[in-house]
């Protein structure tokens, strides 16, 4: 399964920055909080809701350690996605103020409750790293300094559009929302009917925070039957998700997706109107994108990119171990 491995500039940089992050943890307690054996169940125990988590939160780090954690995150993401990730963390402040004003604050909203974890030893055999918190989950799996998997990749935003206060108009996931709507709007009447996969938008992404994404294959509108304009809009939307990664990884992922282009479908559910509940997904043999905006009066976005064959590198690593023995 060597073909599943990605080597190159980003792989080496992620390995280096993971080592630097661990080196910054001069406190044995912090080091213990941040590190786990590679096979530890926490490696696949991810979620996007506010909940208790393991790992080392930003709240426990000093300035040097925080800078090192952010440098690791920056090395692992495309430039625009790194900006979105930081904005999602800071969005907790905005959400807290909204809920305080409405008298609905029940949960802790804190931009420092994002947890960094290293699994295994960076650069030595199988290892991985994760940052996990409300509306943000980044998951990397590597062997030595070769990347095996960069999914699940989750970004969310509540509110999707800030409607009051000094940040009024902020839409962290604007492209994910508008590009999906643009594509559905570009389909003609018959094609729109084929793209409609549910009578109503589901209340959340259907793959949830599963270890393996299992979802019914509903055809939707095949990419092979789209016009050039529609196909270009589909590619723009896909690139928004693949572009969450640095350019060399994004290029490899697009190449892999091109190899299964005949299986790509686009599905939609809900209203095409802004501010009304809606959902879409892009599905291929091994590739799944889900977007949902139904909660909080359709002002609460969840997005995820899953690899149906390669989340957490489970299948490639199994083959790697079998070939090694």
Q: pLDDT, tens digit, for every residue of 100-133? A: 999 999 999 999 999 999 999 999 999 999 999 9
Would the pLDDT of 156 be above 50? yes
Would the pLDDT of 8 be above 50? yes
pLDDT in the model for residue 4: 65
Any domain includes 73 = yes
Task: Give yes or no: residues 132 and 230 share one domain.
Answer: no
pLDDT in the model for residue 298: 98
Any domain includes 265 = yes
Any domain includes 87 = yes
Q: What does the DSSP assignment read for 227-244?
A: -HHHHHHHHHHHHHHHTT
Which residues face 57 on adjacent strands? Answer: 115
Any domain includes 156 = no
Task: Give yes or no: residues 248 and 122 share one domain.
Answer: no
**Number of domains into which the chain is organized:** 2
* Host domain of residue 128: 2-151
Would the pLDDT of 29 be above 80? yes
pLDDT in the model for residue 244: 97
Task: Give yes or no: residues 124 and 179 share one domain.
Answer: no
Any domain includes 315 = no
Task: Give yes or no: residues 116 and 22 share one domain.
Answer: yes
Task: Give yes or no: residues 66 and 180 share one domain.
Answer: no
- % the chain with pLDDT above 90: 92
Please give the average per-residue pLDDT across 17-24, as a whole number: 98
Question: Contact at 8 Å (CB) between 155 and 134?
Answer: no
Task: Give yes or no: residues 25 and 80 share one domain.
Answer: yes
Task: Give yes or no: residues 80 and 178 share one domain.
Answer: no
Any domain includes 240 = yes
Task: Give yes or no: residues 251 and 194 share one domain.
Answer: yes
Q: pLDDT, tens digit, for every residue of 271-280? A: 999 999 999 9
Query: Cβ neighbours of residue 186 under 8 Å, at least 6 residues apart?
Result: 229, 230, 233
* Helical H segments across 137-186, by residue range: 174-186
Any domain includes 141 = yes
pLDDT in the model for residue 218: 78
Q: pLDDT, tens digit, for every residue of 250-266? A: 999 999 999 999 999 99
């Amino acid at each position: 399964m060597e073909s599943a491995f990605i080597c190159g500039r980003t792989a080496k940089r992620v390995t280096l920055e993971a080592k630097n992050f661990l080196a910054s943890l001069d406190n044995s307690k912090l080091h213990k909080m941040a590190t786990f054996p590679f096979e530890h169940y926490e490696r696949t125990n991810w979620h996007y809701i506010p909940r208790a988590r393991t790992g080392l939160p930003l709240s426990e780090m000093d300035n040097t350690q925080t800078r090192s954690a952010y440098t690791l995150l920056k090395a692992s993401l495309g430039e625009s996605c790194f900006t979105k990730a930081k904005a999602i963390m800071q969005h907790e402040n905005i959400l807290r103020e909204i809920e305080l004003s409405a008298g609905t604050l029940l949960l802790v909203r804190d931009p420092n409750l994002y947890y960094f974890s290293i699994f295994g030893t960076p650069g030595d055999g199988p290892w991985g790293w994760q940052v996990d918190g409300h509306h943000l989950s980044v998951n990397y799996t590597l062997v030595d300094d070769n990347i095996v998997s960069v999914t699940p990749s989750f970004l969310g935003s509540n509110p999707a559009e800030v409607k009051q206060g000094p940040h009024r108009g902020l839409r962290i996931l604007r492209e994910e929302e508008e590009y999906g709507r643009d594509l559905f709007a570009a389909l003609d009447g018959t094609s729109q009917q084929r793209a409609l996969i549910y009578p109503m938008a589901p209340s959340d992404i259907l793959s949830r925070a599963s270890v393996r994404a299992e979802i019914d294959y509903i055809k939707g509108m095949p990419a092979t039957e789209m016009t050039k304009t529609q196909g270009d809009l589909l590619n723009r939307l896909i690139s928004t998700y693949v572009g969450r990664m640095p350019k060399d990884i994004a290029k490899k992922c697009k190449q892999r997706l091109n190899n299964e282009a005949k299986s790509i479908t686009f599905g939609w559910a809900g209203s095409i109107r802004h501010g009304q509940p809606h959902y879409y997904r892009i599905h291929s043999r091994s590739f799944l994108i889900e977007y949902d905006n139904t909660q909080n009066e359709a002002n609460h976005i969840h997005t995820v990119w899953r690899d149906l064959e390669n989340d957490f590198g489970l299948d490639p690593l199994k083959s790697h171990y079998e070939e090694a023995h």
